[in-house]
């Protein structure tokens, strides 16, 4: 076979499928320990339907659902039941172990009598990923082999002295300059502004990150600062409205400050809230301008 | 905390620097030093400033962010649509990868079952509403005014509003995920109980068709926000549709008649018409659902209303929606395929008619999504009939595409490879649709993976592939540069093959009876499910390759120095957008157009090359040549039918064929039984008629139509002619064989026909050469 054809198409084609075959195993193999470590699995979710919806499920044809009084439930089941009732999504995870019988009954779905009313409760299991130990190394090998196969065209082109890009490369635009100058300027800004205004809502870290996202694609340092100011104003506005609607939104910050910097001592909650709300005004423009400056050469 | 932020920022910058450094060291850009702005032209001159061409000018426009926020230029809005749609597509694609990852294992262990339900719901919405339609509307926005020689869309401001309603509606539809993500990120540093409110919104777990009663009783407040978002996007789509219809009707230039409209323009017109009616309806359904959820109305309630009413209304939008996303893709295929086949689109008119037919029929088939709901069987049967009928116009398209390629000068560029793969995928997707339209089949397969396979062959293997094809085909116009062709070809193949693997496995799984929409499944399906996931990852890889190619080629791709990038002038297909591009290159960048001038293109409606008319022959010459043709035809026919009879005779002796069938004719004519030459009269008569047909009738048909039968050389032409006759013969002489006898019967008659066709054309060819007969062949 023509070697040019072989290395340009056939080898990377096979490589791509080998790579694809490795992805699944690699993901499961690495995710499995992470899942266990962070407790992302194991506890089933309990869903509870109130008196209005439950008859739809329980009265549908010929099946007798097990019945429990609320008091008969185990502790974990009880607290999950209450949390689920309170939750807008009718669902909460069950922390702790259920007895086999209870688990069995809840898996099929049960009627729970709580304060004299019938509720329908059911759990959905969420077992942990469990893969054979050999899967991960085998998949990583597949990733490696596939990756090498997919990169073969680059090596081949280099060997025969062809430009690495399939077209003849005559002229190069810098990466970020795409967005900074030339007619596409601004397209990137719209997207980055949107992303930044979501990311920026995270207290204190957010405005810094958001500012640098906007700054990276801003045309000049000065424009970066201006855009950062807009962003900061927007974020402060959103946070202010959020605090008015949900006064307790930022109560979590003071204890956090204490854990992170014990020497400072417990700060005043109101002061912290004001700080969090106003911080974007300063942080966003500064980080935007700084990012633009630091990435001048890109 | 601030330290963390600084660290994260520094990391981001560092990653950027490293990426650039890496790109430089592994050799991008390859040969020429950065920044050279002079580009050699074929005539030895230099093209000025082409290096800064980016696809459109900014003459007289605002610059920067302000420009993009305020633009009403159809090209700019088109690009915004395309960027938005592509971003949504990547997001929805991530959902798809997550779905396939969960399904790697039989248990619902990777994500929780609830998360899985949420992902497949938002995957559907994102792809159908925020990916496909925006990308097609973007392409149409950019190119449609150019195709019909209009200055802009009919209502530029409406156009801008139509686009700007989409980002907020996407955020509304998917808001639950955004808040949950922020919550999860925060959750790493903050005790969860403080940020509980961020988890109040969860992705709805309803499936994209939000069936009642579940969608009424689901308490998740995100459902309401998502419904409002869908409503908003519907309004945006209606606005855009009105705009397209108005543009095509009133903004065409004087010279652009209806017959000059390209297929893409036609399909956008039909699409917009469909969308106008379908999305208005969707709006009212969504409002009714919102009222049921929040204001205690009972439109869809079990008591006092009807959940089935919801299904009817939903699919009255839903099925046309299927064609709203499908038709523009066929328009793209019909536009791109001929360019790389070197032939005009075969049967332009029929493609237009079939598009219009699909447009009308698509409103009459919605109940095929509800065959299992127990409606009146008579109504059900009529929906089955219309659903099967709608396959006809789709099949017409396929035949026209195949005939366009037949005998063409095919160039396997990346867009062409994608077109070819897409036709293949569409055939599978379409045929499975026809199966599903048959009630007995649907009752078994409904709600299994077969459905998922059916429509994904089309939405992914066809629609998404055509978007990629269009992006390659028009890349030079959009960016002034060329993409990496090798990479693109590879990508095209991986994508098409990947979708066939993935969705082919789903079809099999469905036939084995695996129901759709469960996070867990029985152990024995695992191998096929894993194959499907591998195919899906391959498609993911191909998508990333596409993305990389688009971005990287924008930076380092070869600068276009001749508007005829695809060598279209040679086949007289240098169509309007390329002429526009050529003018632009000339006026703005001083690139002189190459010969021949662009005026020499043919309008879309005219699909055959005008033939040179030979000098009219005199009557005597005419007669002599006709006589000679006739003799040659009869001679060839006699030889051919003799050989064919030999094959058929042998088959009869072996018992594959029933001779009495030949004798039927005598009975019809009422001829008395008797014998001639010791054989029954009826048999002789039947054979004589058969033989005469083979000598006179079929050669004449062949000679008259030879130019139109497909095939490379004449023997192939003859073979394909015979293959057209064979089914008729096989049907006519069939005498109830089954099993091996049937196979033998079909095989021997097929062979006989092949012998006939090949002999006929070979003898024609020989005699023609020998006696220099200028026949039609
Ligand atoms: C050849 C013509 C076609 C016919 C006869 C046909 C027939 C059908 C039938 C009967 C169903 C319902 C199956 C069930 O749920 O039991 C269905 C589902 C579907 N079809 Fe088609 N189809 C055709 C073409 C298309 C095209 C071109 C698309 C393009 C995108 C498409 C997309 C879909 C989708 C998305 C669904 C599933 C909806 C869902 O349940 O989630 N179909 N088709
Ligand atoms: Cu349908």
CA distance A207 to chain B (A): 9
In this structure, are strands A67-69 and A110-114 parallel, antiparallel, or unpaired? parallel
d(CA B595, CA B593): 7
B20 touches chain A (CB under 8 A): yes
Measured between CB atoms, which of B2, B64, B537 is closest to A219?
Answer: B64
Highest mean pLDDT among A90-94, B332-336, B556-560, B717-721: B332-336
Report cis status (omega within 30 of 0) of the bond before B310: no
Q: Domain extents for chain B?
A: 71-204+227-243, 257-411, 412-560, 627-771
Structure tokens at B420: 């070819």
Does residue B422 have its Cβ closer than 6 Å to ligand 1?
A: no
User: Residue B627 pLDDT more than 60?
Assistant: yes
More confident residue, B607 or B449: B449
Residues of B in contact with A182 (CB under 8 A): 52, 54
Ligand 1: which atom is nearest the Cα of residue B463?
Answer: 30
According to the model, what pLDDT value does residue A131 have?
Answer: 86
Strand order in the sheet with A117-124: A67-69, A110-114, A117-124, A45-49, A91-93
Q: Do A165 and B20 touch (CB under 8 A)?
A: no
CA distance B98 to chain A (A): 11
Secondary-structure breakdown of chain B: helix, strand, coil percentages, each rounded to the nearest 5 = 70, 0, 25
CB B340 within 8 A of CB B402: no
| Ligand with the closest atom to the CA of B390 | 1
Give the number of other Cβ atoms within 10 Å of residue B290's Cβ: 17
Task: State chain B's mean pLDDT as an integer.
Answer: 83
Give the number of other Cβ atoms within 10 Å of residue B66's Cβ: 12
According to the model, what pLDDT value does residue B17 have?
Answer: 57
User: Taken in order B525, B531, B534, B540, is the CA torsion positive or negative?
Assistant: negative
Structure tokens at B178: 């955004």
Structure tokens at B723: 């293959």
CA distance B504 to chain A (A): 16
Report the first-to-last Cα separation within chain A, whole angstroms: 42
CB A215 within 8 A of CB A287: yes
User: Residue A257 pLDDT more than 70?
Assistant: no
Structure tokens at B505: 């496995």
Q: Do B28 and A41 touch (CB under 8 A)?
A: no
Write the pLDDT tens digit of every residue in B244-268: 999 999 989 888 888 888 899 999 9
Highest mean pLDDT among A223-232, B64-73, B137-146, B582-591: B137-146
d(CA B500, CA B494): 10
User: Residue A266 pLDDT more than 70?
Assistant: no
Closest residue by CA, ligand 1 atom 32: B455
Average pLDDT of span A289-298: 82
Structure tokens at B336: 């791109």
Distance of CA A88 to the CA centre of its chain: 21
CA of B330 to the centre of ligand 1 (A): 16
According to the model, what pLDDT value does residue B371 have?
Answer: 93
According to the model, what pLDDT value does residue A98 have?
Answer: 83
B67 touches chain A (CB under 8 A): yes
Measured between CB atoms, which of B105, B108, B553 is closest to A167?
Answer: B553
d(CA B476, CA B468): 14
Measured between CB atoms, which of B191, B202, B556 is closest to A252?
Answer: B191
User: Residue B659 pLDDT more than 70?
Assistant: no
Residues in chain B: 777
Highest mean pLDDT among A107-121, A270-284, B82-96: B82-96
Highest mean pLDDT among B472-486, B522-536, B731-745: B522-536
pLDDT-derived band at B187 (thresholds 50, 70, 90) equals: low
Average pLDDT of span B702-720: 70
- Choosing from B387, B397, B433 the residue with most ligand 1 atoms within 8 A of its CB, the one to mutate for a pocket test is B433
Does residue B387 have its Cβ closer than 6 Å to ligand 1?
A: yes
Residues of B in contact with A90 (CB under 8 A): 219-220
pLDDT-derived band at B33 (thresholds 50, 70, 90) equals: very low
Average pLDDT of span B8-29: 53
CB A218 within 8 A of CB A224: yes
pLDDT-derived band at B536 (thresholds 50, 70, 90) equals: very high
- Which of A244-248, B251-255, B441-445 bottoms out in mean pLDDT, i.e. has the lowest? A244-248
CA of B386 to the centre of ligand 1 (A): 13
CB B681 within 8 A of CB B675: yes
d(CA B758, CA B762): 6
Annotate B308-346 with DSSP letters as a single string.
HHHHHHHHHHHHHHHHHHHHHHHHHHHHHHHHTTTSPPT
Write the pLDDT tens digit of every residue in B48-80: 455 555 554 555 555 566 777 888 889 989 999
- Residue among B492, B357, B346 at smallest CA distance from B425: B492
Q: Do B5 and A283 touch (CB under 8 A)?
A: yes
Closest residue by CA, ligand 1 atom 7: B433
Structure tokens at B412: 């396997």
CA of B453 to the centre of ligand 1 (A): 10
Highest mean pLDDT among A212-216, B201-205, B470-474: B470-474
According to the model, what pLDDT value does residue B86 have?
Answer: 95
Instruction: Give B129's DSSP letter.
Output: I
B413 touches chain A (CB under 8 A): no
- Which of B118-132, B283-297, B735-749 bottoms out in mean pLDDT, i.e. has the lowest? B735-749
Give the number of other Cβ atoms within 10 Å of residue A171's Cβ: 22
Question: In the beta sheet, which residues pair with residue A46?
Answer: A92, A123
User: Residue A115 pLDDT more than 80?
Assistant: yes
Place of tokens 């905390």: B1
Measured between CB atoms, which of B16, B220, B535 is closest to A89?
Answer: B220
- Choosing from B397, B455, B461, B513 the residue with most ligand 1 atoms within 8 A of its CB, the one to mutate for a pocket test is B455
According to the model, what pLDDT value does residue B456 have?
Answer: 96
The secondary element (H helix, E strand) that includes residue B456 is: helix B449-458
- Residue among A228, A235, A188, A229 at smallest CA distance from A212: A228
Measured between CB atoms, which of A167, A209, A223 is closest to B8?
Answer: A209
Place of tokens 């002079």: B38
d(CA B53, CA B56): 7
Residues of B in contact with A203 (CB under 8 A): 1
Structure tokens at A180: 């900074």
CB A3 within 8 A of CB A160: no
Task: Report H helices in B520-601.
Answer: 526-556, 576-589
Task: Report H helices in B103-155.
Answer: 113-125, 133-147
User: Taken in order A169, A172, A175, A178, is the CA torsion positive or negative?
Assistant: negative
- Residue among B169, B79, B165, B80 at smallest CA distance from B126: B169
According to the model, what pLDDT value does residue A248 have?
Answer: 66
Instruction: Give B58's DSSP letter.
Output: -
Distance of CA A11 to the CA centre of its chain: 35
CB B656 within 8 A of CB B744: yes
According to the model, what pLDDT value does residue B36 have?
Answer: 36
pLDDT-derived band at A1 (thresholds 50, 70, 90) equals: low
Does residue B369 have its Cβ closer than 6 Å to ligand 1?
A: yes
3-class secondary-structure state, position B574: coil
d(CA B401, CA B398): 5
User: Residue B771 pLDDT more than 70?
Assistant: no
Q: Do B559 and A170 touch (CB under 8 A)?
A: yes
Q: Do B64 and A128 touch (CB under 8 A)?
A: no
Does residue B390 have its Cβ closer than 6 Å to ligand 1?
A: yes
CB B208 within 8 A of CB B126: no
Instruction: Give B515's DSSP letter.
Output: B
Buried b / exposed e over B162-188, threshold 16 CB at 10 Å, is bbebbbebbebbbbbbebbebbeebee
User: Residue B200 pLDDT more than 80?
Assistant: no
Structure tokens at B262: 């390209």
pLDDT-derived band at B709 (thresholds 50, 70, 90) equals: low
pLDDT-derived band at A142 (thresholds 50, 70, 90) equals: very high
User: Residue B39 pLDDT more than 50?
Assistant: no
CA distance B248 to chain A (A): 28
Measured between CB atoms, which of B27, B57, B552 is closest to A158?
Answer: B27
User: Residue B127 pLDDT more than 70?
Assistant: yes
Closest residue by CA, ligand 1 atom 19: B455
Average pLDDT of span A208-215: 89
d(CA B519, CA B527): 16
Does residue B442 have its Cβ closer than 6 Å to ligand 1?
A: yes
Closest residue by CA, ligand 1 atom 27: B326
CA distance B82 to chain A (A): 12
d(CA B586, CA B461): 38
CB A93 within 8 A of CB A108: no
Task: State chain A's mean pLDDT as an integer.
Answer: 82
Residues of A in contact with B589 (CB under 8 A): none
According to the model, what pLDDT value does residue B431 have?
Answer: 93
Burial class (CB in 10 A: 0-12, 13-18, 19+), A253: buried
- Choosing from B209, B425, B451 the residue with most ligand 1 atoms within 8 A of its CB, the one to mutate for a pocket test is B451
Does residue B460 have its Cβ closer than 6 Å to ligand 1?
A: no
CA dihedral B167, B168, B170, B172 (to 10 degrees): 170
3-class secondary-structure state, position B596: coil
CB B174 within 8 A of CB B92: no
pLDDT-derived band at A189 (thresholds 50, 70, 90) equals: confident
Q: Do A126 and B113 touch (CB under 8 A)?
A: yes
pLDDT-derived band at B560 (thresholds 50, 70, 90) equals: confident
Place of tokens 């104003």: A233
pLDDT-derived band at A84 (thresholds 50, 70, 90) equals: confident
Question: In the beta sheet, which residues pair with residue A68?
Answer: A112
According to the model, what pLDDT value does residue A2 have?
Answer: 79
- Which of B528-532, B586-590, B620-624 bottoms out in mean pLDDT, i.e. has the lowest? B620-624
Report cis status (omega within 30 of 0) of the bond before B35: no
Q: Do B5 and A205 touch (CB under 8 A)?
A: yes
Closest residue by CA, ligand 1 atom 4: B433
CA dihedral B636, B640, B641, B646 (to 10 degrees): 150
Q: How many CB pairs under 8 A join A and B?
A: 256
> What are the residues whose beta carbons fall under 8 Å from the beta carbon of A123, sequence distance 6 or more?
A44, A45, A46, A47, A94, A98, A103, A106, A107
- Choosing from B129, B368, B425 the residue with most ligand 1 atoms within 8 A of its CB, the one to mutate for a pocket test is B368
* % of residues, chain B, pLDDT over 70: 81
Ligand 1: which atom is nearest the Cα of residue B371?
Answer: 16
Average pLDDT of span B301-309: 88
Average pLDDT of span B437-441: 92
According to the model, what pLDDT value does residue B774 have?
Answer: 45
> What are the residues whose beta carbons fall under 8 Å from the beta carbon of A290, sequence distance 6 or more?
A212, A215
B164 touches chain A (CB under 8 A): no
- Residue among A292, A288, A191, A199 at smallest CA distance from A238: A199
Query: A294 to chain B: nearest residue by CA?
Result: B13
Write the pLDDT tens digit of every residue in B587-602: 877 777 776 555 555 5
Does residue B467 have its Cβ closer than 6 Å to ligand 1?
A: no
């Amino acid at each position: 076979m023509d070697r040019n054809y072989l290395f340009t198409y056939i080898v990377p084609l096979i490589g791509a499928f080998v790579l694809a075959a490795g992805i699944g195993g690699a993901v499961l193999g690495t995710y499995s320990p992470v899942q266990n470590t962070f407790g992302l699995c194991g506890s089933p979710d309990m869903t509870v339907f109130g008196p209005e919806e439950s008859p739809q499920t329980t009265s549908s044809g010929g099946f007798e659902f097990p019945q429990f009084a609320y008091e008969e439930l185990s502790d974990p089941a009880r607290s999950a039941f209450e949390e689920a009732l309170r939750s807008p999504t009718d669902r909460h995870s069950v922390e702790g172990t259920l007895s086999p019988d209870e688990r069995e009954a809840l898996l099929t779905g049960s009627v729970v009598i709580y304060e004299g009313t019938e509720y329908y409760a059911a759990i959905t299991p969420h077992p942990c990923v469990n893969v054979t130990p050999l899967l991960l190394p085998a998949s990583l090998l597949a990733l490696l082999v596939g990756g090498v196969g997919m990169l073969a065209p680059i090596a081949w082109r280099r060997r025969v002295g062809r430009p690495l890009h399939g077209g003849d490369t005559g002229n190069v635009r810098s990466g970020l300059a795409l967005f900074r100058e030339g007619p596409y300027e601004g397209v990137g800004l719209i997207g980055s502004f949107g992303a930044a205004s979501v990311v920026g809502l995270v207290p204190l870290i957010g405005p810094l990150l958001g500012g640098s996202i906007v700054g990276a694609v801003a045309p000049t340092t000065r424009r970066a600062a201006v855009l950062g100011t807009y962003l900061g104003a927007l974020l402060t506005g959103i946070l202010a409205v959020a605090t008015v609607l949900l006064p307790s939104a930022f109560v979590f910050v003071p204890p956090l400050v204490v854990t992170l910097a014990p020497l400072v001592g417990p700060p005043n909650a109101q002061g912290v809230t004001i700080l969090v709300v106003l911080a974007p005004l300063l942080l966003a423009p500064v980080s935007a301008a700084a990012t633009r400056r630091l990435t001048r050469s890109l | 905390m601030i330290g963390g932020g600084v660290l994260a920022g520094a990391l981001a910058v560092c990653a950027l620097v490293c990426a650039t450094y890496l790109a430089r060291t592994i050799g991008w850009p390859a040969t020429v030093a950065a920044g050279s702005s002079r580009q050699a032209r074929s005539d030895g001159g230099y093209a000025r400033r082409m290096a800064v061409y980016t696809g459109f000018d900014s003459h007289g426009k605002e610059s920067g962010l302000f420009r993009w926020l305020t633009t009403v230029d159809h090209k700019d809005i088109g690009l915004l649509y395309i960027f938005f749609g592509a971003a949504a597509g990547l997001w929805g694609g991530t959902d798809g990868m997550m779905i396939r990852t969960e399904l790697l294992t039989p248990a619902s262990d990777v994500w929780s079952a609830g998360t899985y339900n949420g992902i497949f719901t938002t995957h559907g919405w994102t792809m159908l509403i925020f990916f496909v339609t925006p990308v097609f509307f973007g392409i149409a926005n950019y190119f449609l005014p150019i195709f019909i020689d209009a200055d802009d869309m009919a209502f530029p401001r409406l156009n801008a509003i139509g686009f700007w309603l989409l980002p907020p509606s996407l955020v509304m539809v998917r808001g639950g995920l955004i808040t949950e993500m922020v919550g999860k990120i925060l959750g790493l540093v903050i005790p969860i109980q403080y940020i509980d409110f961020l988890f109040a919104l969860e992705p709805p777990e309803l499936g994209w068709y939000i069936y009642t009663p579940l969608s009424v009783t689901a308490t998740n407040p995100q459902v309401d926000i998502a419904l409002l978002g869908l409503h908003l996007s519907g309004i945006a789509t209606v606005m855009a549709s009105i705009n397209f219809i108005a543009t095509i009707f009133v903004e065409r230039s004087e010279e652009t008649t209806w017959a000059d409209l390209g297929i893409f323009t036609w399909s956008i017109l039909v699409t917009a018409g469909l969308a106008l009616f379908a999305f208005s309806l969707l709006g009212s359904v969504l409002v009714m659902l919102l009222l049921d959820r929040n204001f205690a109305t009972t439109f869809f309630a079990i008591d006092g209303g009807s959940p089935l009413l919801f299904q009817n209304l939903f699919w009255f939008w839903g099925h046309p929606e299927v064609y709203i996303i499908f038709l523009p893709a066929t328009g793209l295929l019909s536009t791109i395929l001929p360019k790389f086949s070197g032939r005009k689109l075969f049967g332009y008119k029929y493609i237009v008619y079939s598009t219009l037919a699909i447009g009308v029929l698509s409103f009459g088939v919605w109940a095929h999504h509800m065959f299992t709901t127990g409606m009146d069987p008579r109504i059900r049967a009529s929906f089955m009939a219309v659903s099967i009928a709608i396959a006809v116009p789709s099949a017409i398209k396929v035949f026209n595409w195949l005939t366009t390629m037949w005998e063409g000068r095919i160039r396997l560029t990346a867009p062409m490879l994608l077109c070819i793969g897409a036709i293949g995928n569409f055939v599978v997707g379409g045929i499975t649709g026809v199966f599903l339209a048959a009630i007995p089949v649907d009752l078994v397969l409904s709600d299994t993976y077969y459905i998922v396979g059916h429509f994904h062959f089309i939405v992914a293997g066809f629609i998404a592939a055509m978007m990629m094809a269009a992006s390659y085909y028009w890349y030079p116009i959009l960016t002034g540069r060329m993409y990496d062709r090798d990479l693109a070809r590879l990508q095209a193949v991986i994508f098409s093959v990947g979708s066939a693997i993935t969705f082919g496995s789903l079809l099999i799984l469905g036939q084995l009876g695996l129901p759709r929409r469960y996070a867990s499944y029985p152990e024995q399906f695992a191998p096929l499910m894993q194959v499907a996931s591998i195919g899906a990852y391959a498609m993911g890889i191909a998508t990333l390759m596409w993305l990389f190619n688009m971005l990287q080629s924008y930076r380092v791709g070869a600068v276009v120095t001749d508007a005829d990038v695809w060598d279209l002038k040679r086949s007289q297909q240098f169509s309007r957008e390329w002429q526009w591009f050529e003018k632009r290159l000339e006026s703005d960048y001083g690139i002189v157009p190459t010969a021949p001038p662009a005026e020499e293109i043919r309008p879309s409606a005219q699909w055959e090359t005008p033939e040179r008319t030979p000098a009219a022959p005199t009557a005597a010459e005419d007669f002599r040549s006709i006589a000679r043709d006739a003799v040659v035809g009869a001679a060839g026919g006699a030889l051919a039918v003799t050989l064919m009879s030999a094959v058929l005779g042998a088959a009869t002796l072996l018992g594959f064929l029933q001779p009495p069938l030949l004798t039927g004719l005598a009975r019809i004519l009422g001829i008395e039984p008797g014998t001639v030459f010791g054989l029954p009269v009826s048999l002789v008569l039947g054979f004589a008629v058969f033989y005469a047909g083979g000598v006179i009738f079929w050669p004449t048909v062949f000679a008259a139509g030879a130019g139109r039968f497909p095939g490379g050389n004449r023997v192939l032409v003859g073979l394909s002619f015979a293959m057209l006759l064979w089914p008729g013969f096989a049907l006519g002489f069939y005498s109830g064989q089954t099993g091996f006898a049937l196979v033998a019967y079909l095989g021997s008659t097929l062979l006989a026909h092949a012998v006939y066709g090949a002999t006929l054309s070979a003898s024609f060819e020989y005699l023609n050469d020998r006696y220099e007969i200028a026949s039609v062949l």
